[in-house]
């Protein structure tokens, strides 16, 4: 595509936008790969080649406009190579899976190859097999992790051929990356030449790449959904090629066999086929029925073997994300409940709100079909936005699908005078009012439990919090059994914490709980705010405490580095400056600051031998008080030549719960 702009003196210059975007992303992939050269030497070569290609491609596109299409396609291939190699390096730099869904799907494929029904078998071993941290489990409100397969069969069958060939540890991630690349290439071929450069954005945007590498398996259904919505309205056209006509429902059936996200497209597409049939003078029900059959056949072909194998296990697994009481999480309205501590905590309101909004959207789609024919796919993330599980991938991964649907369907000339049926008016009014009412009710009233953090226990120089004390009052009129977790402001819901306190709180009862972190990944940093979340199963609720934080202050040790050895017996000064967490110096006097020294050997920690402020040699936790400038000055003197460097670090003692740890300075002492 050529964009033209005025070059002055009645001359116009064309900009090859496709090559421009493709070349920039080739350069971007080269830059991303640059840091991995020390681990994988070939990466540096690829990085240099991609950056050089991007620059040369831009030069040639301006100099030889006829080469634009070839250069754009080569840029796409270069971006695919960069993406594939980036995924490879990221896997080896961080080998553990970052979601339980990809671990479960790959383990399900492993079980199937062993002749075991994955729907009827616990998948708990997948956590250890694929190095999934506890913070990435999906938890029920009871505090127990989900350990069963919760997706239709194609979610793991697509991994089976690769695993059968002997690829095991990261087979799922490689397949996901391949499907995401394939989706981007498919976009490039299906989109009009004027905008097919958007394929580079889909392949290169970190919000998509992060999902792929992070273990979100939506990449598996992307190519199926792209083909399902491409010219979907032609299904009713008698002259449309038979193969292309039936490709849409077949691809939708396959996409629905991967993940439940695709299920939400089905009712809109069926309604759309109905509206197209009515507009073309055909039977309003025959074409939708054919379409449903076209969707059902591939879906059943994939899943029937497992339905026959164990019907109840398949039904429970496939419906688990829709009906089970999993913990609320996401970037939708529930985020206000979790992080801003608003809302009444009763999750049935959000479930009901999402259902009402979805029905309202269907009514709007049918009533104002000509207006929403191109953009209806946005109805799905908008409906999920209001639910208790509005994860980021639910909100953004359908955007490429939206683009394909919007540009490939036929335009409908909007009726100048369109009489809206009375039933549609009533339906839209009822569900609009119901949605608004439920939304308001979800924010009215207090949360079931009132929580107040009363104290924390830190781990010292690890800089983590391993214990939290919380006071809890039950405002409900029924007994509740709370399960607790501690949330920091990173947005990641960690493992449920072990609690010491009454297992059941009677109505209006108050109690104190001591919460203990079950593992290191669950421990929040002392530099972050934290809040305590309490979940109950009957009723399904969440209650959150106000944010709790240690004083926002850090220490900075200077000099920050000693690039030459220091002679023993010669005193020198180490100055500790109080600063805010944003780096602003704090002029606070009278604040105690401690300085510690230690030596680290290959497999041991040893006491150092320097004196600090005239203390005994090797003394630890020597305290000094800050002056009016917020500085604490320590006089240090080496006493002996040690075989190891001495490491110095400062902190603020805070009555036995130190925080504000400084940078670490290392010194080699010589004679």
CA distance linking residue 159 with residue 434, whole number of Å: 43
CA distance linking residue 573 with residue 599, whole number of Å: 19
Relative to beta strand 465-474, strand 498-500 is: unpaired
Cα radius of gyration (the chain): 30
3-state secondary structure of 379: helix
Would you state the pLDDT for residue 491? Answer: 62
Task: Find, among 397, 10, 433, the residue nearest to 218 by Cα.
Answer: 397
Q: What share of the chain is helix, strand, coil (3-state, %, to 5)?
A: 45, 20, 35
199, containing H or E segment: helix 198-204
Cβ atoms 623, 658 nearer than 8 A? no
Return phi, psi of residue 226, to 5°. Answer: -60, -45
pLDDT exceeding 70 applies to what percent of the chain?
96
Would you state the pLDDT for residue 461? Answer: 77
Return phi, psi of residue 378, to 5°. Answer: -65, -20
**Is 0.85 topped by the overall pTM?**
yes
Cα 72 from chain centroid? 31
Q: For 640-670, write each residue's pLDDT tens digit.
A: 999 999 999 999 998 778 888 999 999 999 9
Would you state the pLDDT for residue 4? Answer: 52
- The tokens of 526 are what? 């002392």
Q: Where are the alpha helices (DSSP H) in 12-153?
A: 17-34, 41-63, 68-93, 100-113, 125-129
Cβ atoms 159, 105 nearer than 8 A? yes
Q: Is the pLDDT of residue 12 over 80?
A: no
CA distance linking residue 220 with residue 259, whole number of Å: 9
Mean pLDDT of 633-646: 94
Characterize 222-257 residue by residue with b for buried, 16 or more Cβ atoms within 10 angstroms of its Cβ, and e for exposed: bbbbbbbbbbbbbbbeeeeeeeebbbbbbbbbbbbb
Place of tokens 């709370």: 482
Mean pLDDT of 211-222: 94
Length of the chain in terms of residues written: 671
Task: Find, among 495, 452, 652, 604, the residue nearest to 145 by Cα.
Answer: 495
CA dihedral 303, 309, 311, 317 (to 10 degrees): -60
**Confidence grade of residue 269 (pLDDT, cut at 50, 70, 90):** very high
Tell me the DSSP string of 32-62. HHHTTTTTSHHHHHHHHHHHHHHHHHHHHHH
Task: Find, among 129, 139, 135, the residue nearest to 96 by Cα.
Answer: 129
How far are the Cα atoms of 464, 494, 558, 646 from residue 523, in angstroms, in the given order? 6, 8, 29, 29
Mean pLDDT of 68-78: 93
Sign of CA dihedral 425, 431, 433, 435: negative
Return phi, psi of residue 647, to 5°. Answer: -105, 130
Q: Is the pLDDT of residue 5 over 50?
A: no
Q: For 281-318, write each residue's pLDDT tens digit.
A: 999 999 999 999 999 999 999 999 999 999 999 999 99
Sign of CA dihedral 456, 459, 461, 463: negative
Q: For 472-520, write each residue's pLDDT tens digit.
A: 999 999 999 999 999 887 666 668 998 999 999 999 999 999 999 999 9
pLDDT exceeding 90 applies to what percent of the chain?
77
């Amino acid at each position: 595509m050529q964009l033209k702009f005025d070059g002055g003196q009645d001359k116009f210059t064309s900009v090859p936008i496709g090559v421009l975007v493709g070349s920039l992303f080739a350069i971007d992939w080269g830059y991303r790969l640059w840091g991995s050269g020390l681990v994988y030497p070939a990466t540096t070569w690829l990085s240099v080649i991609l950056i050089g290609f991007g620059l040369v491609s831009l030069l040639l596109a301006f100099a030889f406009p006829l080469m634009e299409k070839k250069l754009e396609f080569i840029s796409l291939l270069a971006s695919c190579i960069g993406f594939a190699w980036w995924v490879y390096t990221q896997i080896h730099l961080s080998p553990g899976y970052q979601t339980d869904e990809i671990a479960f799907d790959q383990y399900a494929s492993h079980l199937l190859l062993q002749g075991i029904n994955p729907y009827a078998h616990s998948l708990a071993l997948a956590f250890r097999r694929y190095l999934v941290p506890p913070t990435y489990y999906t938890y029920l409100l009871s505090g127990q992790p989900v350990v069963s397969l919760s997706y239709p069969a194609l979610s793991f069958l697509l991994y089976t051929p690769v695993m059968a060939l002997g690829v095991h540890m990261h087979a799922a991630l490689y397949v996901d990356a391949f499907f995401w690349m394939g989706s981007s290439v498919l976009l490039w071929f299906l989109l009009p030449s004027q905008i097919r450069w958007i394929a580079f954005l889909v392949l290169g945007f970190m919000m998509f790449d992060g999902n792929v590498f992070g273990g979100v398996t939506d990449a598996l259904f992307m190519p199926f959904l792209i083909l399902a919505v491409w010219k979907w309205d032609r299904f009713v056209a008698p002259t449309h090629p038979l193969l292309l006509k039936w490709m849409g429902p077949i691809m939708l059936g396959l996409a629905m066999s991967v993940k439940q996200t695709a299920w939400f497209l089905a009712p809109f597409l069926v309604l759309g086929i109905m509206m197209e049939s009515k507009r073309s003078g055909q039977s309003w029900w025959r074409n939708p029925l054919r379409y449903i059959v076209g969707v059902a056949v591939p879906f059943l072909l994939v899943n029937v073997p497992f339905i026959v194998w164990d019907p109840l296990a398949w039904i429970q697994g496939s419906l688990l994300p829709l009906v089970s009481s999993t913990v609320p999480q996401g970037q939708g309205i529930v985020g206000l409940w979790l992080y801003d501590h608003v809302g009444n905590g009763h999750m049935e309101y959000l479930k009901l709100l999402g259902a009402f909004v979805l029905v309202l959207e269907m009514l709007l789609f049918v009533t104002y079909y000509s207006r929403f024919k191109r953009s209806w796919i946005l109805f799905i993330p908008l409906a999920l936005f209001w639910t208790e599980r509005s994860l980021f991938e639910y909100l953004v991964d359908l955007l490429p699908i939206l683009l394909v649907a919007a540009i490939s369907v036929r335009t409908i000339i909007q009726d100048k005078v369109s009489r809206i049926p009375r039933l549609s008016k009533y339906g839209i009014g009822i569900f609009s009012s119901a949605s608004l009412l439920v939304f308001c009710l979800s924010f009215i009233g207090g949360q079931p439990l009132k929580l107040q953090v009363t104290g924390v226990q830190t781990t010292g120089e690890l800089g983590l919090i391993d214990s939290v004390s919380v006071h809890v009052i039950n405002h409900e009129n029924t007994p509740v059994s709370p399960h607790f977790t501690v949330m920091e402001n990173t947005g990641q819901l960690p493992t449920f914490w072990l609690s010491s306190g009454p297992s059941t709180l009677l109505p209006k009862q108050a109690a104190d709980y001591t919460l203990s972190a079950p593992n290191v990944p669950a421990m929040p940093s002392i530099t972050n705010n934290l809040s305590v979340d309490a979940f109950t199963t009957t009723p399904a609720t969440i209650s959150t405490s106000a944010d709790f934080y240690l004083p926002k202050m850090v220490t900075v040790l200077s000099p920050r580095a000693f690039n030459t050895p220091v002679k023993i017996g010669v005193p020198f000064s180490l100055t500790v400056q109080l600063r805010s967490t944003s780096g602003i110096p704090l002029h606070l006097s009278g604040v105690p600051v401690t300085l510690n020294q230690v030596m680290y050997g290959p497999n041991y920690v040893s006491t150092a031998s320097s004196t600090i402020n005239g203390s005994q040699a090797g003394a630890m936790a020597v305290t000094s008080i800050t002056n009016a400038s917020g500085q604490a000055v320590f006089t240090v003197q080496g006493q002996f030549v040690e075989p190891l460097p001495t490491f110095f670090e400062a902190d603020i003692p805070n009555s036995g719960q130190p925080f504000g740890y400084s940078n670490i300075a290392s010194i080699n002492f010589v004679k």
